[in-house]
């Protein structure tokens, strides 16, 4: 088979890129290792920046999002029992929306199916060949038979554990990494959210986040030990711990119920450079990971998609500037998202061996943010998403 762009990975990056390219008349084939149900079963991000919202609309898949999303003009930050609000609209004139990654992925799958664009599920052994030559191709195995796709370019949208990044020789690739000594335990529960906006909470007992998916679906996270497993946490223990980390007023208002999902994610900062090797372009988690504090993971994947989609569209119009500068442009924004997520993680988490001095520094950082409108503006600009 031959196509213009072979996209490896049918997560949000691959699907969004495929849909945007389709609208430009550019052919794609998506190879996804898992089943559609598996991908849709993963509960991940919940906050979309304005740029991600714009791309969804540009891809022709914004209708349900525009109808069902919640607009958030600000967020609450708490530290112990003290809390304050950061007003995004006041500082930036913009906002974010609550719309789950699961819903976004579902909309993109439906749109792809509606236009009949090919997607191969359960593609095993995906292998990239000749990415640094003019004969780039990808092979994979489906139902025991090997297939080959010849293409102009390969988009590596296969997440952190994918094969695309590994196809770039170590002599060319440089990786930067920071592993945090804690994880996030997340639950989903069919209960009304504790507050109409998100609460990012720092406390002596560690971080907590109160988020939501809709009026009767709440998403809560607490910082946990890396050695914990979801089975160690009964629902009652989770709710009790969450209550102890958020201001009393919210702890009293919290409505609890059975959890319908419970999982632990480790926290990591990671960037690989460059994001292009010959005809292979990395996009999203395949190239970088942020700790989830600040909701940048999915949104940074979307900004990569923007740069790559623009570059590929220009290429087929005879101009290679966008492709030639893809890695530089994407990385410039990626590093700023890395900085923000790292800073917000440090602001609100308890590290295992924090000294009294470290704690004083954290308290001073929070106090400065609480009292300084310019510091609030910096947070707001980063949270709603840096321009691209």
**In angstroms, rounded to a whole number, what is the distance separating the alpha carbons of residues 165 and 154?**
12
**In angstroms, rounded to a whole number, what is the distance separating the alpha carbons of residues 88 and 96?**
8
Q: Using CB distances below 5 to 8 A depending on partner kind, what does residue 55 bind out of ligand FAD, ligand DHB, none?
A: none
Contact 49, 141 (CB under 8 A): no
Catalytic residue among 99, 200, 307, 326: 200
192 is catalytic: no
72 is catalytic: yes
Of 12, 23, 91, the residue nearest 58 (C-alpha): 23
**Closer CB to ligand DHB, residue 20 or residue 77?**
77
Catalytic residue among 12, 22, 72, 247: 72
Footprint of ligand FAD (CB under 6 A): 8-14, 31-34, 39, 44-45, 101, 123, 126, 157-159, 161-163, 265, 284-285, 292, 295-298, 301
Q: Using CB distances below 5 to 8 A depending on partner kind, what does residue 285 bind out of ligand DHB, ligand FAD, none?
A: ligand FAD
Q: Using CB distances below 5 to 8 A depending on partner kind, what does residue 206 bind out of ligand DHB, ligand FAD, none?
A: none
To the nearest whole angstrom, how small is the minimum distance from the Cβ of residue 304 to ligand FAD? 8
Contacts 24+ apart (CB under 8 A), 126-134: 126/8, 126/31, 126/33, 126/158, 126/163, 127/163, 128/8, 128/154, 128/156, 128/163, 128/164, 128/167, 128/280, 131/167, 131/168, 131/277, 131/278, 131/279, 131/280, 132/277, 132/278, 132/279, 133/278, 133/279
Contact 244, 251 (CB under 8 A): yes
State which of positions 353-382 bind ligand DHB (CB under 6 A): none
Catalytic residue among 95, 195, 262, 296: 296
CA pseudo-torsion sign 260, 262, 268, 271: negative
316 is catalytic: no
Q: Does residue 262 bind ligand DHB (CB under 6 A)?
A: no
To the nearest whole angstrom, how small is the minimum distance from the Cβ of residue 359 to ligand FAD? 26
**Closer CB to ligand DHB, residue 105 or residue 211?**
211
Size of the site for ligand DHB (CB under 6 A): 11
| Beta-carbon count within 10 A of 307 CB | 24
Chain centre distance of CA 70 = 18
Residue where the block lists tokens 């031959």: 2
Q: Does residue 211 bind ligand DHB (CB under 6 A)?
A: yes
Using the contact rule CB under 6 A, the part of the chain among 77-85, 116-124, 287-295, 374-382 near ligand DHB is 287-295
Please select the residue that binds ligand DHB; options are 21, 45, 69, 301, rule is CB under 6 A: 45
To the nearest whole angstrom, how small is the minimum distance from the Cβ of residue 343 to ligand DHB? 13
SS3 content of the chain, % helix, strand, coil (to 5): 40, 30, 30
Q: Does residue 47 bind ligand DHB (CB under 6 A)?
A: yes
Contact 334, 42 (CB under 8 A): no
Q: Does residue 12 bind ligand DHB (CB under 6 A)?
A: no
**In angstroms, rounded to a whole number, what is the distance separating the alpha carbons of residues 375 and 373?**
5
Q: Does residue 294 bind ligand DHB (CB under 6 A)?
A: yes
Q: Does residue 46 bind ligand DHB (CB under 6 A)?
A: yes
**Closer CB to ligand DHB, residue 13 or residue 164?**
13
**In angstroms, rounded to a whole number, what is the distance separating the alpha carbons of residues 187 and 219?**
6
Using the contact rule CB under 6 A, the part of the chain among 175-183, 225-233, 275-283, 289-297 near ligand DHB is 289-297
Identify the burial level of 372 via C-beta atoms within 10 angstroms of its C-beta, where 0-12 means exposed, 13-18 middle and 19 or more buried. Answer: exposed
**Closer CB to ligand DHB, residue 157 or residue 209?**
209
| Contact positions vs ligand DHB (CB under 6 A) | 45-47, 198, 209, 211, 219, 292-295
Q: Which residues are catalytic?
A: 72, 200, 292, 296, 383
């Amino acid at each position: 088979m031959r196509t213009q762009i072979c996209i490896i990975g049918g997560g949000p990056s691959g699907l969004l890129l495929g849909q945007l390219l389709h609208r430009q008349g550019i052919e794609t084939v998506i190879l996804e290792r898992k089943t559609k149900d598996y991908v849709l079963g993963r509960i991940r991000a919940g906050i979309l920046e304005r740029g991600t919202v714009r791309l969804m609309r540009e891809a022709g898949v914004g209708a349900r999002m525009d109808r069902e999303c919640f607009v958030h003009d600000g967020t609450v930050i708490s530290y112990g029992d003290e809390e304050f609000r950061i007003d995004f609209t006041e500082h930036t004139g913009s906002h974010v929306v609550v719309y789950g990654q699961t819903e976004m992925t579902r909309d993109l799958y439906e749109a792809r199916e509606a236009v009949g664009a090919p997607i191969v599920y359960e593609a095993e052994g995906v292998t990239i060949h000749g990415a640094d030559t003019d004969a780039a191709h990808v092979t994979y195995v489906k139902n025991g038979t090997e297939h080959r796709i010849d293409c102009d370019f390969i988009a590596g949208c296969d997440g952190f554990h994918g094969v695309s990044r590994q196809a770039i020789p170590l002599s060319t690739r440089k990786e930067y990494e920071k592993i945090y000594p804690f994880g996030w335990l997340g639950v989903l529960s069919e209960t009304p959210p504790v507050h109409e906006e998100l609460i990012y909470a720092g406390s002596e007992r560690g971080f907590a986040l109160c988020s939501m998916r809709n009026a009767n679906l709440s998403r809560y996270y607490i910082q946990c030990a890396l050695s914990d497993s979801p089975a160690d946490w009964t629902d009652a223990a989770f709710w009790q711990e969450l209550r102890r980390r958020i201001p009393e007023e919210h702890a009293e208002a919290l409505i609890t119920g059975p959890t319908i999902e419970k999982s632990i994610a480790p926290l990591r900062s990671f960037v690989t450079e460059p994001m292009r090797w010959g005809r292979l372009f990395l996009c999203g988690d395949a190239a970088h990971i942020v700790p989830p504090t600040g909701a940048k993971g999915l949104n940074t994947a979307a900004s990569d998609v923007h740069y790559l989609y623009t570059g590929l569209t220009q290429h087929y119009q005879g101009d290679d500037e966008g492709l030639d500068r893809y890695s530089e442009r994407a990385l410039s924004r990626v590093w700023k998202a890395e900085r923000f997520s790292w800073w917000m993680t440090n602001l609100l988490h308890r590290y295992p061996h924090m000294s009294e001095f470290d704690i004083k520094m954290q308290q001073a950082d929070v106090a400065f943010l609480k009292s300084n409108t310019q510091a609030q503006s910096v947070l707001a600009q980063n949270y709603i998403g840096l321009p691209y």
